[in-house]
Amino acid sequence: MWKTFTPVLLTAGLLVLSCDQLEDKPQLLESLAHSQWEVTGYLPPATPEPKVSPVPYQLTFINDSTFILQLDINRLVGKYSATQGGDFSVREIKRTDNCCDSEYALQMAEIVQGANVFQSTKEGIALQGSGEVFLKKKITVNP
């Protein structure tokens, strides 16, 4: 009886161990290139409640190294790098200066510029650094 039962136990044990190891692996994140995202809100540093976006700000990842963040009046254009593991960095920021953006837009832009991590959320992705910016993928419909 043990001769028949032992292989079944060993197989079941190996199956359980392999499933546990699969769950521990980090989930690979999607590429950001060629995607548009709507800002749904941000969480300033040391603040318990996220601030909901008053207008539909848009963050567009043009390709695998360039992004545009449309603010109230101005826009940020910059270079970024992102890995599937969730590392994120921003550099070479240029900003148009056509008057005044809201305090909300300026704080959100500051968080995006300092972001060093991006991760999947239930609604989309979050850019994190000294605060968090929450983004929801913008669906474009082809006519």
Query: Which CATH number characterizes residue 68's domain?
Result: 2.40.128.270
Whose CA is closest to 62, among 52, 50, 48, 76? Answer: 76
pTM, entire model: 0.73
Mean pLDDT of 116-132: 91
Any domain includes 143: no
Any domain includes 120: yes
Residue 4, C-beta contacts closer than 8 angstroms, at least 6 positions apart: none
Number of H helices, E strands in the chain: 2, 9
Whose CA is closest to 112, among 62, 64, 73, 75? Answer: 75
Mean pLDDT of 107-133: 92
Any domain includes 17: no
Any domain includes 128: yes
**Number of domains within the chain:** 1
Query: How far apart are alpha carbons 142 and 10 in whole angstroms?
Result: 53
Any domain includes 28: no
Contact 111, 129 (CB under 8 A): yes
Any domain includes 105: yes
Residue type, 78: G
Domain carrying residue 53: 35-137
pLDDT grade for 1, boundaries at 50, 70 and 90: low
pLDDT digit string, tens, across residues 21-73: 444 444 556 688 999 999 999 998 888 888 998 888 999 999 999 999 999 99
Query: How far apart are alpha carbons 57 and 123 in whole angstroms?
Result: 16
Any domain includes 133: yes
Any domain includes 13: no
